[in-house]
Amino acid sequence: LQTQLTQAQKMESVGRLAGGVAHDFNNMLGVILGHAELALQKARNKQNPCSNLEKIQTAARRSADLTKQLLAFARKQIIEPKRLDLNHTVEKMLSMLRRLIGEDIDLSWVPARKLWPVKMDPTQVDQILANLCVNARDAIAGVGKLTIETGMKTFDPGYCADHPGFIPGDFVMLAVSDNGCGMDQEILKNLFEPFFTTKEIGKGTGLGLATIYGIVKQNNGFINVYSEPGRGSTFKIYLPRQHSFAEKTASAVHSEMSIPP
């Protein structure tokens, strides 16, 4: 199963953003108010209100997480694109990612032996990886396997004509695969929509993939998703190859020279 998000779908989903935030916050506030009421009653009756206070704390923390993700999604982040070797960027993140996914999940790192550079903000790569790995962890929900892989791909226009969503050119690929629960057509259709989540209220914000989509578009890349219910999922992120200054100059000279006299 493969999915692509059209511009129209994207616009539609941005339109639902405000409603989604209000809904999620209302749920959290409901939890906080309910437990505050119970805690007060208990305190007045000289009972221990600790369990309610803990629930208030958890709900408030989740609200704070939601705000943070929402800000990251909505704000025009100041980005500082740099020339990057994605292998290095991933390697720097590995120990953090291992902690994030826990000991029950076996993480394999399969770097391409050679990789073209890309030009992007390294914190955006970190954001992509962290979000994809959290989703893989949640999809596995126990013991399983997660693989991070890099590669180089060239798509020619003929191939792209047959495969809508692919863009012709040289791309660096970053893939995250899991052997978790996988996704059906219905989930795949809504995957990148802000606030689309199948996770329990408070556990998922539905902003992870919408954020990734925004970052990848900003960097002129594209995403492909392969998934099968019960078997697992693979997210492939393609980022355009950054040509070195020397290569650009060489090709400019080359094209100048090929102009007929």
Q: Which helix (H) or strand (E) holds 148?
A: strand 144-155
Instruction: Out of 97, 115, 174, 178, point to the residue binding ligand ADP (CB under 6 A).
Output: 178
| Region from 17-25, 56-64, 152-160, 174-182 binding ligand ADP, contact rule CB under 6 A | 174-182
Closest residue by beta carbon to ligand ADP:
208
Does residue 191 bind ligand ADP (CB under 6 A)?
yes
Q: From CA 114, how far away is CA 24, in angstroms rounded? A: 44
State the amino acid at position 238 in one-letter form: Y
Instruction: Out of 20, 151, 180, 240, point to the residue binding ligand ADP (CB under 6 A).
Output: 180
Residue 19 CB partners (closer than 8 Å, separation 6+): none
Instruction: Report how far Cα 10 is from the mean position of its chain's Cα atoms.
Output: 15
What pairing do the DSSP bridges indicate for beta strands 118-120 and 82-84? antiparallel
CA dihedral 21, 220, 156, 251 (to 10 degrees): 180
| Region from 7-15, 90-98, 135-143, 214-222 binding ligand ADP, contact rule CB under 6 A | 135-143
Q: Which of 41, 66, 63 is nearest to 53 (CA)?
A: 41
Least spacing, CB of residue 54 vs ligand ADP, in Å = 23
Binding mask 193-212 for ligand ADP (x = CB under 6 A): ---xxxx----xxxxxxx--
Q: Which is nearer to ligand ADP, 116 or 222 (CB)?
A: 222
Contacting residues toward ligand ADP, per CB under 6 A = 131, 135-136, 139, 178, 180-183, 187, 191, 196-199, 204-210, 233
